[in-house]
Amino acid sequence: MSASSIANERYVLFTTFKRDGSAVGTAVWIAPLENGRACFTTGGGSAKVKRLRNDARVTLQRCDYRGRITPGSPVVEATARVVVGADCEPVNIAMRKKYAIQFRILEWTTAITSRVRRQSVADAGVVVDFS
């Protein structure tokens, strides 16, 4: 599997690293971006965003919706960065294109959750660079 083809998977285990070097994996939807990059949306206050701000190294691996790794799937090493505001719009567009109605439902429920909790959720994007 090539690095950029992992963006065509339905779910990937996105692994970030704590300050002590220990790995933390999270199952995410992922979509391809231009120039062989990939992306997904997340909450700007999430732990993975905090870890990315300290260490841009990540790994990705094919998994199911619960984060169980697909046997025999390769680990892809990359770097990632967080984008917010207008810089997040290409991420939202890519996710809408790939996940269609499922992503729109997620956006709708996120909007409701944001109002109820009075805090933003899924207000950031993560851009993964395989080079």
Q: Whole domain around residue 74: which residue ranges?
A: 4-129
pLDDT digits 0-9 by tens, 76-88: 999 999 999 899 8
**Mean per-residue pLDDT over the chain, rounded:** 87
State the pTM of this model.
0.83
Q: Which of 107, 130, 115 is nearest to 41 (CA)?
A: 107
Token pair listed for 66: 């619960």
Number of domains in the chain: 1
Query: In one letter, which amino acid is 57?
Result: R
Q: Model confidence at 123, in pLDDT bands (50, 70, 90)?
A: confident
CA 11 – CA 102 distance, rounded (Å): 13
Q: Which residues lie across from 63 on neighbouring strands?
A: 69
